[in-house]
């Protein structure tokens, strides 16, 4: 879904749905999305206690990351204890915790700093969508796009997945916002609240 959304072409549910009908995802990303989707409705036994995946992901993430060794041969998988070697593609996997700010930071850091300019595409794979956490990074998204780095944001649910075109958010004003900062909150005075 690499459509270029502009102010003249609003971002609509229909546009998102059309993108879902003709995805351009590499096979390893589709495999990852299916694997993550299969984890979501399951329970996992950790230290003798049955836990839903989000608690297991928080308490024992190795259960999940050990199943993704196949992916590390193709992309830089983040988060990681040490930055992975430079790769042309990275996946930031953030599940179970409400930490899209951390996912955005990892995406920016790896693609613009740690990959030595080799990274050209970053996939954020997550089970949550909090627009303000992502929009806070609109300047970073713009810098990534200007540097030729594609940012793909995949929201996974037990029923499927959806790509949210966050790359377009760096250059758009939020719908319903008349603020000169595009609704990102910059330059706002506390007295205005």
Q: pLDDT in tens for each of the 193 residues of the chain? A: 444 444 456 667 776 666 666 567 899 999 999 999 999 999 898 889 998 888 888 888 888 888 999 999 999 999 888 888 999 999 999 887 767 788 888 888 888 888 888 999 999 999 988 888 888 888 888 888 888 999 999 999 999 999 988 877 655 544 444 444 444 444 444 444 4
The DSSP H or E segment spanning 156 is: strand 150-157
Q: What is the pLDDT of residue 176?
A: 41
Q: What is each CA distance from 19 to 16, 93, 192, in whole angstroms? A: 5, 22, 39
Query: Does the predicted model carry a pTM greater than 0.85?
Result: no
| Separation of CA 61 from chain center | 18
- What is the b/e burial string over 44-78, where b = at least 16 CB atoms within 10 angstroms of the residue's CB? beeeeeebebbebbeeeeebbbeebeebeebbbbb
Check residue 184 and give its pLDDT.
46
Rounded to the nearest angstrom, the gap between the alpha carbon of residue 177 and the centroid of all alpha carbons in its chain is: 24
Question: Under a CB-based contact definition with an 8 Å cutoff, are residues 33 and 125 in contact?
Answer: yes
Angle at 92 between CA 50 and CA 100, to 5 degrees: 80
Is residue 44 a contact partner of residue 60, using CB atoms and an 8 Å limit? yes
pLDDT value of position 11: 64
Distance CA 119, CA 122 (A): 8
Q: What's the pLDDT at 98? A: 65
Contact assessment for residue 122 and residue 154, using Cβ atoms and an 8 Å cutoff: no
């Amino acid at each position: 879904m690499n459509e270029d959304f502009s102010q003249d072409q609003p971002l609509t549910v229909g546009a998102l749905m059309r993108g879902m009908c003709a995805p351009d995802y590499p096979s390893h990303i589709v495999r990852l999305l299916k694997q993550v989707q299969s984890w979501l409705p399951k329970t996992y036994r950790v230290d003798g206690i049955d836990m839903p995946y989000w608690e297991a992901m928080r308490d024992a993430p190795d259960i999940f990351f050990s199943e993704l060794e196949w992916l590390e041969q193709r992309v830089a998988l983040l988060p990681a204890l040490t930055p992975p070697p430079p790769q042309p593609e990275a996946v930031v996997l953030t599940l179970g915790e409400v930490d899209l700010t951390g996912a955005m930071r990892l995406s920016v850091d790896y693609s613009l700093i740690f990959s030595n300019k080799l990274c050209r595409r970053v996939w954020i794979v997550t089970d949550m969508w909090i627009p303000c956490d992502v929009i806070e990074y609109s300047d970073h998204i713009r810098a990534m796009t200007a540097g030729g780095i594609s940012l793909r944001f995949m929201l996974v649910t037990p029923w499927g997945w959806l790509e949210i075109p966050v790359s377009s958010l760096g250059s758009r004003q939020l719908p319903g916002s008349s603020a000169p900062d595009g609704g990102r909150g910059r330059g706002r005075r506390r007295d205005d609240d």
